[in-house]
């Protein structure tokens, strides 16, 4: 497993071609996914190992990607720790009783590994089924999870979250410390069951200034990443180009880059750090010659980095044509020479 293209790129090796996988490769862009999920609520599907194995395998079978991403959700560990959270279709995570002050912190107990035994069972089943293709375990980073807990759901401006961090910093740090422990446990369970690599998703960290990230977020993401340093760690954010060095400093082996800066520019910002990215997922809806040129540009610019994992700059959009993703994989695989 250590010799998979993915793990080699994570270690900073120049590979004959970049390994390729897609964030949100398992999910609504696939008709076979919609069929399996019919009538089963999202979080319920995450608790059924057979379904998790099937959905995780679907894009691996269809595209021949170089990694599987565990089918779950960032709120699964919160729910397992006892928080009343649901995923509403077309909306995202919705928290029944948002965290607004100190009194609410008691509702965030540690996550007992036994409460996610369905994760252990799913990962074990997957590792067997994957027969050598590496499995990426994942979790939401403390900030992104806390934003849902504080706002009560998806947010445009994160105003309650920012107000809390600045007005009650002690409550904020207590909250992020608790979420970090839950996140670390969730990742540990996946690693112990056989995940080869982990990715920490700080999808909404780009809402913050560099100074806010450094003071209010970085120490907590660093605490999570320090606890899982026995496997390669990918640290991903959207809109985080202005503080890529801090994302690396938090303890990442690989930094994820969205589409806002080219990879050679990203490589200058974090010298020596392997990169993952960075095709704009919206462009997958453009004509094929446009996509082809973008794929080639990204692979070329990625050579400036110490190791490159080809991915999108954010998740696959539900309206994406799966055949287009198949062609992207085909084009990259053909580069092996």
125 is in an annotated binding site: no
Is 220 annotated for ligand binding?
Answer: no
Catalytic residue among 8, 33, 79, 148: 148
Residues with Cβ within 8 Å of 110's Cβ and at least 6 positions away in sequence, in order, are: 81, 178, 181, 182, 185
Give yes or no for residue 315 binding ligand CP3 (CB under 6 A). Answer: yes
By C-beta, is 64 or 169 nearer to ligand CP3?
Answer: 64
Euclidean distance between the first and the last CA atom of the chain, given in angstroms as a whole number:
23
Q: How far is the CB of 314 from ligand CP3 (least distance, A)?
A: 6
- Residues 191-230 within binding reach of ligand CP3 (CB under 6 A): 201, 203
Total residues contacting ligand CP3 (rule CB under 6 A)?
25
| Given 11, 28, 124, 327, the catalytic residue | 28
Kindly tell me which residue out of 10, 69, 78, 223 binds ligand CP3, with binding defined by CB under 6 A: 69
Minimum gap (Å) between residue 303 Cβ and ligand CP3: 26
Residue keyed to tokens 């606890």 = 227
For position 299 contacting ligand CP3 by CB under 6 A, the verdict is: no
In the chain, the DSSP E strands lie at 68-69, 85-88, 92-95, 135-140, 197-202, 233-237, 254-256, 275-279, 308-312
- Collect all residues with Cβ–Cβ distance below 8 Å to 28 and sequence separation of at least 6: 34, 318
Q: Tell me whether residue 44 or residue 330 sits nearer to ligand CP3 (CB atom).
A: 44
Region near ligand CP3 per CB under 6 A, out of 82-90, 265-273, 304-312, 320-328: 82-90
Cβ(278)–Cβ(310) below 8 Å: no
Q: Is 314 labelled a binding residue?
A: yes
User: In this structure, what DSSP letter does residue 169 have?
Assistant: H
**Residue 93, beta-bridge partner list:** 87
Which range in 87-95, 97-105, 207-215, 278-286 contacts ligand CP3 by CB under 6 A?
87-95
Plot region of 73 (φ>0 → left; ψ -120 to 50 → alpha; else → beta): beta
* Tokens matching residue 17: 């071609």
DSSP string for 188-221:
HHHHHHT-SEEEEEETTGGGS-HHHIIIIIHHHH
Which one among 16, 35, 38, 90 touches ligand CP3, defined by CB under 6 A? 90
Q: How far is the CB of 159 from ligand CP3 (least distance, A)?
A: 18
Residues 16-35 that bind ligand CP3 (CB under 6 A): 23-28
Annotated ligand binding at 321? The verdict is: no
Residue 28 is a catalytic residue:
yes
User: Per residue in 220-231, is it b (16+ CB within 10 Å) or e — as a string?
Assistant: bbbbbbebbeeb
Task: Rule CB under 6 A: say whether 39 interacts with ligand CP3.
Answer: no
The verdict on 260 binding ligand CP3 (CB under 6 A) reads no
73 marked as part of a ligand binding site: yes
Measured distance CA(278)–CA(274) in Å, rounded: 13
User: 27: annotated binding-site residue?
Assistant: yes
Within positions 129 to 158, which residues make up the interface with ligand CP3, using CB under 6 A?
138, 144
Q: Which of 8, 33, 73, 253 is catalytic?
A: 73
37 catalytically annotated: yes
For 135, the token pair is: 């499995």
Q: State how far Cα 195 lies from the chain centre.
A: 14
158 labelled ligand-binding: no
Which segments are annotated as binding site for substrate? 24-28, 73, 148, 203, 314
Catalytic residues: 24, 28, 37, 73, 148
Chain positions contacting ligand CP3, by CB under 6 A: 23-28, 37, 42, 69, 71-74, 87, 89-93, 138, 144, 201, 203, 314-315
């Amino acid at each position: 497993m250590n010799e998979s293209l993915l793990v080699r790129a994570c270690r900073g090796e120049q590979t004959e071609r970049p390994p390729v996988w897609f964030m949100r490769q398992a999910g609504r862009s696939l008709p076979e996914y919609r069929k399996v999920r019919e009538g089963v609520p999202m979080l319920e599907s995450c608790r059924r190992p057979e379904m998790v194995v099937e959905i995780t395998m679907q894009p691996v079978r269809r595209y021949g990607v170089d990694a599987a991403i565990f089918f779950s959700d960032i709120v699964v560990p919160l729910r397992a720790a006892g928080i009343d959270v649901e995923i509403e279709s077309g909306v995202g995570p919705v928290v029944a009783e948002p965290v607004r002050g100190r009194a609410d912190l008691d509702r965030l107990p540690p996550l007992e590994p036994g409460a996610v035994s369905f994760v252990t069972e799913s990962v074990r089943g997957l590792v067997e089924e994957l027969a050598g293709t590496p499995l990426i375990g994942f979790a939401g980073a403390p900030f992104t999870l806390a934003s849902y807990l504080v706002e009560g759901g998806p947010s445009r401006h994160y105003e309650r979250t920012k107000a809390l961090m600045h007005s009650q910093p002690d409550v904020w740090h207590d909250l992020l410390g608790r979420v970090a422990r839950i996140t670390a446990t969730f990742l540990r369970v996946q690693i112990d069951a056989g995940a080869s690599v982990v990715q920490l998703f700080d999808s909404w960290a780009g809402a913050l200034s560099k100074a806010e990230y450094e003071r209010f977020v970085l120490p907590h993401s660093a605490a999570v990443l320090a606890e899982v340093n026995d496997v390669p760690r990918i640290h991903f954010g959207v809109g985080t180009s202005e503080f890529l060095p801090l994302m690396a400093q938090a303890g990442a082996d690989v930094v994820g880059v969205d589409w806002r800066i080219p990879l050679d520019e990203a490589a200058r910002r974090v010298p020596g750090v392997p990169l993952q990215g960075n095709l704009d997922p919206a462009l997958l809806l453009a004509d094929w010659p446009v996509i082809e040129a973008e794929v080639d540009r990204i692979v070329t610019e990625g050579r400036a980095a110490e190791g490159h994992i080809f991915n999108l700059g954010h998740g696959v959009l539900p309206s994406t044509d799966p055949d287009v993703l198949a062609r992207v994989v085909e084009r990259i695989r053909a580069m092996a020479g």
